[in-house]
């Protein structure tokens, strides 16, 4: 797996469904640079089982993301028409109606490849032709991108393993705390906890106060 932390998030321009119903032709994360943090996450497919629980969980916490100046963007290898239909389907029928943040289209698989979350692989046959082996869907990758467009955190789950939205918010708090105060966040740190200075004296002081 590629480690993107510390690097510019791979750029792309693609179709997306925004505001729960509007299909746009040219969506890019570049629109947020200099303005917002971004939580960019991949999920395997529309109309599945774990996926709606995650997408709805992100929507349920949108007020907390917005209060932290964070844009949330989802992505899968489905078409814009599949996204649109799923967004119109009531939650009690397996849909994600009510989700308002953008969901982008990656039918070409270029974006999943760039973020190295694509399941399956391309192999060469005996005649030198490239064939894709496996299921062309994305693993549950998540990338926290700062306002300068740099990836500051990434995690990738296998398809059956849902993510914790609370943990994503905790990491946003930690990133914003370190940017504001210059201190570092120890294990299990959460907003309101004591941080520490990145020195031996700072670590000693933190441990002595635990």
Q: Are residues 139 and 178 in the same domain?
A: no
Q: Are residues 48 and 88 in the same domain?
A: yes
- Do 138 and 70 lie in one domain? The reply is yes
Mark whether 157 and 192 lie in a shared domain. Answer: no
Instruction: Please check whether residues 132 and 182 belong to one and the same domain.
Output: no
Does residue 4 belong to any structural domain of this protein?
no
Say which CATH number the domain at 111 has: 3.40.30.10
Question: Residues 29, 62: contact at Cβ < 8 Å?
Answer: no
Listed residues 162, 180, 201: the one ending a domain = 162
The verdict on residue 2 lying in a domain is no
For residue 42, being part of any structural domain is answered with yes
Query: In terms of domains, do 126 and 179 share one?
Result: no
Residues 96 and 49 in one domain: yes
Question: What's residue 196's pLDDT?
Answer: 86
Do 111 and 200 share a domain, yes or no? no
| Catalytic member of 51, 71, 117, 175 | 51
Q: How many domains does the chain have?
A: 2
Over range 141-163, report the average pLDDT. Answer: 97
Considering the domain architecture, whether residues 123 and 170 belong to the same structural domain is answered as: no
Distances (CA, A) of 3 to 44, 154, 159, 163, 204: 20, 8, 19, 19, 31
Element (H, E) at 201: helix 200-209
* Residue 135 reports pLDDT greater than 90: no
Q: What is the pTM of this model?
A: 0.92
Rounded average pLDDT over 4-31: 98
Question: What is the predicted pLDDT for the residue at 198?
Answer: 73
The whole-chain average pLDDT of the chain stands at 93
pLDDT above 70 covers a percentage of the chain that reads 94
The position carrying tokens 């996926």 is 51
**What local confidence, expressed as pLDDT, does residue 206 receive?**
60
Shared-domain flag, residues 155 and 101: yes
- Print the domain residue range for 198: 164-210
Say if residue 34 is in the same domain as residue 55. yes
Is residue 112 situated within a structural domain?
Answer: yes
| pLDDT score, position 205 | 65
110, part of any domain: yes
> Do 150 and 178 touch, CB atoms closer than 8 A?
no
6 lies in some domain: no
Helix (H, G, I), strand (E, B) or coil at 71: strand
Do 33 and 118 lie in one domain? The reply is yes
Residue 51 is among the residues annotated as catalytic for this protein: yes
Report the alpha-carbon distance of residue 100 to residue 130 in Å, rounded: 38
3: CB partners within 8 A, 6+ apart: 154
| Digit-coded pLDDT (tens) for 55-80 | 999 999 999 999 999 999 999 999 99
């Amino acid at each position: 797996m590629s480690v993107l932390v510390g690097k510019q998030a791979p750029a792309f321009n693609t179709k997306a469904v925004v505001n729960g119903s509007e299909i746009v032709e040219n969506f890019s994360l570049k629109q947020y640079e200099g303005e917002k943090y971004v939580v960019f996450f991949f999920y395997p497919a529309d109309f599945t089982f774990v996926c709606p629980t995650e997408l709805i969980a992100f929507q349920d916490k949108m007020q907390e993301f917005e209060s932290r100046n964070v844009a949330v963007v989802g992505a899968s290898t489905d078409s814009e028409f599949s996204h649109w239909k799923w967004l119109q389907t009531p939650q009690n029928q397996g849909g994600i109606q009510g989700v308002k943040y953008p969901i982008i289209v990656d039918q070409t698989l270029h974006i999943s490849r760039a973020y190295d979350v694509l399941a399956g692989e391309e192999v060469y046959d005996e005649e030198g032709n490239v064939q894709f082996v496996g299921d062309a869907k994305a693993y549950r990758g998540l990338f926290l991108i700062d306002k300068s467009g740099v990836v500051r955190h990434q995690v990738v789950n296998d398809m059956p393993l849902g993510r914790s939205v609370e943990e994503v918010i905790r990491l946003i708090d930690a990133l914003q705390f370190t940017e504001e105060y210059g201190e570092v966040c120890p294990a299990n740190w959460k907003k309101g906890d004591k941080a520490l200075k990145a020195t031996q004296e700072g670590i000693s002081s933190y441990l002595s106060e635990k």
